[in-house]
Amino acid sequence: MSLEIKDLHANIGDREILKGLNLTIPKGEVHAIMGKNGSGKSTLAKVMAGHPSYEVTGGDVLLDGSSLFGLEPDQRARAGLFLAFQYPMEIPGVTIANFIRAALQARLPEGEELEAVEYYKNLYAQMDALKMPRTFTSRSVNDGFSGGEKKRCEVLQLAMLKPAYAVLDETDSGLDIDALKIVAEGVNTLRSPDTGFLVITHYQRLLNYIVPDVVHVMVDGRIVRSGGKDLALKLEAEGYDWIEKELLATA
């Protein structure tokens, strides 16, 4: 069981951004992608979400062997994929409680109703575990949230939806250390044999809190190196230039 990205090519307009990307995330593992700004990390997340601005020109993304392409974004979610974005959407007028409830309801077979009492019991238990005040549920999704509150909302969605695969595109800048820790604690708590995580970050510091099983480096729309936590530490210490030099030398 895995999330398998095979020779993925994608364009924005007529510009190719993903240039043959290969990556396999087995269920139960946490993988991280690091890469310089502009290397195509967010493009990968958006292509997996089915964002209409991106055109897939080759390759495939397989969720436990079935292609994501051809599925609408909501069908991808139902198939077990969860995506959290670098710039989360604000949804004024829709409370968090109703938003998550609708997402769970959408996964049920036609005609089956989510049991409300059971739902709220579960929601409050997850919120208690995340130390979120009850008042949080009646606020609109991401509307006026601080960075840390957006991250708590993201982790609450993860905890409630229990996706088979979660792709988290974490912000490059402006996220304080407390918000990073919230995401990291969330991922660490939800780490299990039933979920595969892909954590996308520009920021090695996140990986001090989430220790990934595998670190991948993205350069110009491809994964060019994979390794353990040491690779993230080397990138933090030395930057990306050495990889680019090695790539040129072997080209």
Binding site for ligand ADP (CB under 6 A): 12, 17, 35, 37-43, 53
Report yes or no: 134 and 124 within 8 Å, Cβ to Cβ: yes
Q: Which of 2, 43 has the CB closer to ligand ADP?
A: 43
Q: Which residue has the tokens 């240039």?
A: 19
Q: Interface with Mg ion includes 142 (CB under 5 A)?
A: no
Contacting residues for 36 by C-beta, under 8 A, at least 6 apart:
202, 219, 240
Q: Interface with Mg ion includes 42 (CB under 5 A)?
A: yes
Q: Which of 46, 152 has the CB closer to ligand ADP?
A: 46
Rounded to whole angstroms, the Cα distance separating 174 from 213 reads 26
Q: Which residues pair with 25 in a beta bridge?
A: 3
The dihedral built from the CA positions of residue 131, 133, 134 and 137, taken in this order, carries a sign that is negative
Contact partner at residue 43 from ligand ADP, Mg ion, none, CB < 5 to 8 Å by partner kind? ligand ADP
Q: Which of 34, 156 has the CB closer to ligand ADP?
A: 34
CB of 204 to ligand ADP, least distance (A): 15
Strands 91-95 and 2-12: unpaired
Contact partner at residue 40 from Mg ion, ligand ADP, none, CB < 5 to 8 Å by partner kind? ligand ADP
CB of 39 to ligand ADP, least distance (A): 4
Three-state DSSP state, 78: helix
Compute how many other C-beta atoms are within 10 angstroms of the C-beta atom of residue 42. 20
Q: Which of 54, 80 has the CB closer to Mg ion?
A: 54
User: What's the order of all strands across the beta sheet hosting 81-84?
Assistant: 81-84, 165-169, 196-201, 30-34, 214-219, 222-227
Q: Which of 41, 152 has the CB closer to ligand ADP?
A: 41
Rounded to whole angstroms, the Cα distance separating 5 from 20 reads 9
Contact partner at residue 17 from ligand ADP, Mg ion, none, CB < 5 to 8 Å by partner kind? ligand ADP
CB of 221 to Mg ion, least distance (A): 13
CB of 209 to ligand ADP, least distance (A): 20
Rounded to whole angstroms, the Cα distance separating 175 from 237 reads 21
CB of 67 to Mg ion, least distance (A): 24
CB of 87 to Mg ion, least distance (A): 9
Q: Which residues bind Mg ion (CB under 5 A)?
A: 37, 41-42
